[in-house]
Structure 1
Amino acid sequence: MMVLAMALLIAGTAFLLIAAIGIVRLRDPLQRMHSATKAGTLGATLMLLGVVLAADIAELNWTSGLTILFLLITLPIGAQLLGRAAYVSGTRLEGLAHDPLSDELERHPGKPDELTRDS
């Protein structure tokens, strides 16, 4: 049981490290957000599962389970809303020859700071 807990903790730490590296290294704000939410959620979930297995405390099981459920419900929704807001505000898109959402959403070109001063 302890070996599985250690494996989960190591895997969770690795995913959190990958998320942190992705935030620093990726060029596009949408790519950075994707790295933080996907790898961060998986890393935190694996670490919480590892702690539950290592500690073997009943109250910790409920708390960790509810925390994992909260992460899995809220982070994808938050990422969707942040991505949409970044896209609509005119964030530069890296690596796309054609914008697939150009017919769906109106974009405001320019820096987001300029938009708030003009309003």
Structure 2
Amino acid sequence: MMHLAELPVWAALPVALLLLLGAALALIGSLGLLRLGSFYERVHAPTLGTTLGIGFVLVASMLTFSVLESRLVLHELLIASLMIVTTPVTLMLLTRAALYRDRSEGSKKVPSAPPT
């Protein structure tokens, strides 16, 4: 079993920096979810903040295990590619569902449907 104590200092510093940066971005995205007013404003902050934050955490993980195992570890690229594909699709589906609901209820806060 590998131990993180074996990680050299030259690799530990960028890993720590990437982890802190990723955690900070995820926190900012989560705070945006709490602070912003409407649903349409709130969906963007967590989507952008947490996606970029998770990206930094995945890069830190790739660097850590590549150094510890003395070979290139790229398992995290699969996770990153799935996050890049699924996050915008989920955002778009949630937003379109909310827009459809608001338009069918006659809400004045959203623009009317374009003519077909």
Which category of TM-score, normalised to the shorter sequence, fits these structures? Answer: 0.7 to 0.9
Q: Which residue number in structure 2 is paired with residue 83 of structure 1? A: 95
> 1:9·1:46 contact (CA, 8 Å) conserved in 2?
yes
What whole-Å deviation, never above 9, does each CA across 1:68-89 have from its counterpart, x for those lacking one? 0000011011101111111111
Counterpart residue identity of residue 114, structure 2: E
Count, aligned residues: 100
> Does 2:30 align with 1:20?
yes
Question: 2: CA distance between counterparts of 1:66 and 1:28?
Answer: 33
Q: Which residue number in structure 1 is paired with residue 21 of structure 2? A: 11
TM-score by length of 1: 0.71
Deviates more, 1:55-64 or 1:19-28: 55-64
Aligned 1:47-66 pairs, distance under 5 A: 47-56=57-66, 57=69, 61-66=73-78
What is the identity percentage for the equivalent residue pairs of Structure 1 and Structure 2?
27
CA spacing shift, 1:30–1:48, aligned 2, 3 Å: same
CA spacing shift, 1:90–1:58, aligned 2, 3 Å: farther
Supply the RMSD in Å over aligned alpha carbons.
2.6
Measured after TM superposition, the shift of residue 11 of structure 1 is 0.9
2:79 to 64, 67, 77: 67
